[in-house]
Every structure is written in C-alpha cells, then in structure tokens.
Structure 1
Amino acid sequence: MSTALQWVKSTYSSSEGGQCVEVATAPDVIHIRDSKRPEGTTLQVSPTTWTTFTTALK
C-alpha cells in the first residue's frame, strides 16, 4: 500500500501564484515539482543532494 505524497510549497512563495516549487519528502527520496504543473514531470533527488542544494542557497 502506498501513501500519497504531501506536497509543500516554499514559504517564500506568495499566494498570488507565480513560479513556485513544491517539495514532497519520503525516507529515501525528495520529490520536486512545478506548482503550475502538478501532473507534470517531477525531479527526484537523494536527501543528501537536497541538503547540499538547500545549504548552498543560504
């Protein structure tokens, strides 16, 4: 049985839409998608890769 992913939009995103990224975490993979195209392609990266990326943004 699989559970649905819980997608979260960045707190930096406004409520007016725009260009937003949504992220859903799972134990072994981080899912990333465009909020304008939720049924579109998703990018999947390891938690280590995601941490490295978000740390570099700070």
Structure 2
Amino acid sequence: MIDRHDVDVSHIDWRKSSYSTGQGENCVEVARMDSHVAVRDSKCPDGPIVILRHQEWNAFLAKIR
C-alpha cells in the first residue's frame, strides 16, 4: 500500500460502485491512475484514501471474487 501523500489525488476521476443505492449509502469509490488505484468511502470524500499498486488491486479483486 502507498502513502496517500506520495500520490497526487487532487484531480483524479472517482467512480462510484455500480452496486450503489440511489441514496449513496455504503458506497465505495475507485479511481484508476497510471500506476495506482485509489479507493475511498463515498460518504467521506475528504477522509482516508487507500492507494494500491495495480498488482495489489488485482490481487484484492481476485480474493473477493
């Protein structure tokens, strides 16, 4: 995992989960960057961001499937 201060996330394009409800509750937002993937809670966009390398993200997705 990468420290969020090492990656500029100020102008990335966030996408909300397709499983999101209309009220926007319990949602995850993901932003793909050149060499990283950023993940955050849509209810708290200024809160913590998890930043993963693409390999880490792919391994995470493989585990949850």
TM-score (norm 2): 0.77
Ranges of 4+ aligned residues in structure 1 off by more than 4 Å: none
Percent of aligned pairs sharing the same letter: 33
Gaps in structure 1 of 5+ consecutive residues: none
Task: Quote the Cα distance in structure 1 between the aligned partners of 2:64 and 2:23.
Answer: 23
Q: Which amino acid aligns with 1:10?
A: S
Please, what is the CA RMSD of the aligned residues? Answer: 1.6
Q: 1:21 is matched with which residue: 4, 25, 28?
A: 28
Partner of 1:43: 50
The size of the alignment, in residue pairs, is 57
Partner of 1:57: 64
Higher RCO (C-alpha 8 Å, min separation 6): 2
TM-score (norm 1): 0.85
1:33 aligns with 2:50: no
